[in-house]
């Protein structure tokens, strides 16, 4: 049993004429693996079911020469899962940005393996700034110029919104963060 205060510890019900009982499992919106343990009146009447909760069918993005995968942490060492459409658009964006201005893009926090919220920060109370990163369609991106040229934000925005039909939002600009964008596909 977990220490979670929302853990349901007991459900009572009646079986039908065939000895079956039906219950509905309502997912919390957190992707991952969960278990249900059922015990009858005797120690021999037990069963365990493992449930894999997925927010979608995701693929793992592999690093390439025109982009780097960043942002891995001890809690989430692999955080670059996305829909096939999203990953295809990100590869196309990286190839075009490199051909246009020799930028190597850095992709951070697409989604976790099964989706759901990132538990980022020190408190890990699932109060996450990454609400849109649940379904493998959003990513944080930083363009890095190989030749220290300035980043053409207008070109990036037009390519993402017009060519790739995605969403584009600049989240940070400055010496420490350089440019930080939030993209959606």
List, for residues 154-171, the tens digit of each pLDDT value. 999 999 999 999 999 988
Domain boundaries, the chain: 59-184
Residue indicated by tokens 């939002």: 169
| pTM across the whole model | 0.74
Helix (H, G, I), strand (E, B) or coil at 178: strand
Class of domain 59-184: alpha beta
**Higher confidence at residue 185 or residue 3?**
185
Q: What angle do CA 119, 134, 83 make, to 5 degrees?
A: 135
3-state SS of 134-145 is CCCCEEEEEEEE
**Higher confidence at residue 176 or residue 1?**
176
**Order of all β-strands in the sheet with 167-174:** 67-70, 103-108, 138-145, 178-184, 167-174
Q: Which two tokens stand for residue 151?
A: 């980043």
Report the alpha-carbon distance of residue 172 to residue 138 in Å, rounded: 16
């Amino acid at each position: 049993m977990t220490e979670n205060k929302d853990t349901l510890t007991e459900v009572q019900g009646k079986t039908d004429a065939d000895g079956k009982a039906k219950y509905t499992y309502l997912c919390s919106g957190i992707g991952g693996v969960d278990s249900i343990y059922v015990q009858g009146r005797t120690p021999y009447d037990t069963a365990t079911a493992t449930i894999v909760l997925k927010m979608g069918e995701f693929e793992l993005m592999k690093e390439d020469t025109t982009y780097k995968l960043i942002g891995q942490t001890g809690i989430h060492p692999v955080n670059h899962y996305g829909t096939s459409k999203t990953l295809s658009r990100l590869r196309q964006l990286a190839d075009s940005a490199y051909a246009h201005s020799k930028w190597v893009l850095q992709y951070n926090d697409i989604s976790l393996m099964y989706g759901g919220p990132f538990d980022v920060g020190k408190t890990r109370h699932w109060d996450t700034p990454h609400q849109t990163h649940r379904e493998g369609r959003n990513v944080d991106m930083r363009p890095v110029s190989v030749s220290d040229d300035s980043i053409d934000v207008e070109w990036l925005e037009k390519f993402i919104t017009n060519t790739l039909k995605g969403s584009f939002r600049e989240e940070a600009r400055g010496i420490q963060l350089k440019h930080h964008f939030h993209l959606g596909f």
